[in-house]
Amino acid sequence: MEQSPLAAVEVETAPGPSRSVIWLHGLGADGHDFEPAVPYLARPGMPALRFVFPHAPVRPVSLNGGLPMRAWYDIAALNRDAPQDEAGIRAADAAIRALIARENGRGVATDRIVLAGFSQGGAMALHTGTRLPEKLAGVIGLSCYALLAGSFAAERQAANQRTPFLLAHGSFDPVVAPALGEEARAQLVAAGYEVEWHTYPMAHSVCAEELAHIAAFLQRVLA
């Protein structure tokens, strides 16, 4: 049975968009979190875009003492040795694929979709982007890390081997250590992916320079 797509905030930059950006929020946020960024990302002269900001399901999160909040999967701790919620990650992957399928149904081909995310959402963007059997226009992972690294080699698909990836991280990030972002980048580079990498003197956040780099990336892959 097909999965129903998650509820989402949607912003269209012009009528009849033929390209989409699916943007996954971080832990405890919701689809409205990056909605204000759209005017900074849609540059003049770009084709009409549909930004899709889905709301992750509400679930108890171990990292926060079991407090229910929007999360793509459960998190025990943010370090490389912590157990990962594989069932939750797989369920989120299925939800993301349902969102891609919905865009296909609205006339947007997968190779005209950018999958993006911040923090936990960025980790999911990298996870699905490398394992999806259809080519995407691009993948963006902000202040994030690699998931289920042990299964990466066996599960990654050839479809996005040549798809551009943009990874960025704050050099003072106290939430997701910069080393985890570096590891995600190294994993992709070692596997032959094209990775654009930026660091910024900031914490677990987004800055104006980063938004400018993302806008240039979107212009390049969705032109």
Active site residues: 119, 173, 204
∠ CA 37-69-64, nearest 5°, is: 110
Among residues 52, 75, 173, the alpha carbon closest in space to that of 123 is found at 75
67: which strand partners? 61
- Do 43 and 11 touch, CB atoms closer than 8 A? no
Distances (CA, A) of 43 to 8, 208, 223: 23, 14, 11
